[in-house]
Amino acid sequence: MKKQILSVVAMLSLAVSLSAAALANFSGAVKADIPFDFMVGKESMKAGHYQITGLTPSGTLVIHNLETKKSVTFQVTNGKTTAGDSDAKLVFNRYGNQYFLTRIWDGGETSSDLIKSKTEREAAKAKYLAQNNDQPEVVTIVAQIGN
């Protein structure tokens, strides 16, 4: 029994370490001027100058409007990977006149992806019903890496 418990604890420790290492790839800060209002999860954000930083190795990031001082924390998962470094950029899904932050590239090889919120799923459904097309327009904003 003791051996089984030790095996389970060792496996869980390894899994947590690997997950933390995989999600800790968001390094430094990403800054961008976003020229439109947008959503992060269920939070509405105004157009402006933003900084995104990592908080924990568990995949929690914070986006901060440098003008209004409003901040929102959100969870991300590892997303797409590239063969080499990618440029820093923010990727938004657009449904009609609504924009949703969906992916962050911080200049590394792997993106950090936001999970689709209920609000975004509803916007996608409304667009599909209105235009018979559930694919969003993808809008990319170039970002800078820095503090």
**43-90 pLDDT tens trace:** 999 999 999 998 766 788 999 999 999 999 999 988 777 766 678 999
The pLDDT assigned to 130 comes to: 66
Exposed e or buried b for every residue in 7-28, given b needs 16+ CB within 10 A?
A: eeeeeeeeeeeeeeeebebbee
In tens, the pLDDT along 85-123 reads 678 999 999 988 899 999 999 888 888 999 889 999 988
pTM of the model: 0.75
pLDDT (0 to 100) of residue 16: 42
What's at 108, amino acid-wise? G
